[in-house]
Amino acid sequence: MGDTILIADDHPLFRQALALAVSNVAPQARVIEAGTLAAAAKAAAEADGLCLITLDLKMPGAIGYSGIALLHAEKPDVPILVVSSAEGAMVAEEARAFGAVGFLRKDADLLRIEDAIRDALRGIDRPSASTEPVDQVRRTVAGLTPTQLKVLLSVLEGKLNKQIAYDLGMSEATVKAHMTAIMRKLDVQNRTQAALVARSLGLDMAS
């Protein structure tokens, strides 16, 4: 079927295990691997026929659920299956809120991982969206563009516009324009409030 599956995880041995699971479920699929969030975002943007992304939350470059939000913004129609060692009863729910179709712990056995991959490829239904205000804000954050998310994450790291412009290869004026758009979308008045909203949603969840 010529489909491509992206495995994003910073542990080579676990990428190998996931690649084995993928080959058992979809032997004809092409597997590409990424060890950092930046590499995963680049691969997702450039890959042809991408049909699934498996993602570890705790990757270099990722803050909290930002990996899901960034990859979902990059390829909104591609299902994201989170396979992570992240703890907590709310993690799976939060992962889905930011755009993942499923969540699986890393200590799951191979058969369970294969089942989860199979379900994700079939396009399992996501839980119905809540109308609670916090969920509306989550969906707003999940709806930011990839560049807007990168700017917001840089603000969370305490970087100034000049540093953000240098890191992302754009002018300060462009950074300011992105910040204006972010603040408008989040319905806040300044970058501090924008950072507080992002922080309250777990985008800076301790890794």
- Secondary structure string (H, E, C) spanning the chain: CCCEEEEECCCHHHHHHHHHHHHHHCCCCEEEEECCHHHHHHHHHHCCCEEEEEECCCCCCCCCCHHHHHHHHHCCCCCEEEEECCCCCCHHHHHHHCCCCEEEECCCCHHHHHHHHHHHHHCCCCCCCCCCHHHHHHHHHHCCCHHHHHHHHHHHCCCCHHHHHHHHCCCHHHHHHHHHHHHHHHCCCCHHHHHHHHHHCCCCCCC
Is residue 205 included in any domain, yes or no? no
Last residue of a domain, one of 54, 89, 122: 122
What is the structure's pLDDT at 199?
76
Domain that holds residue 51: 4-122
Is residue 192 included in any domain, yes or no? yes
Is residue 100 included in any domain, yes or no? yes
Residues 23 and 49 in one domain: yes
pTM score above 0.75: no
Q: How many domains does the chain have?
A: 2
Residues 106 and 145 in one domain: no
Rounded average pLDDT per 10-residue block, the chain, 207 residues: 84 90 92 92 91 90 82 87 80 82 86 89 58 62 82 86 92 93 86 78 56
- Domain with 110 in it: what CATH number? 3.40.50.2300
What is the structure's pLDDT at 163?
92
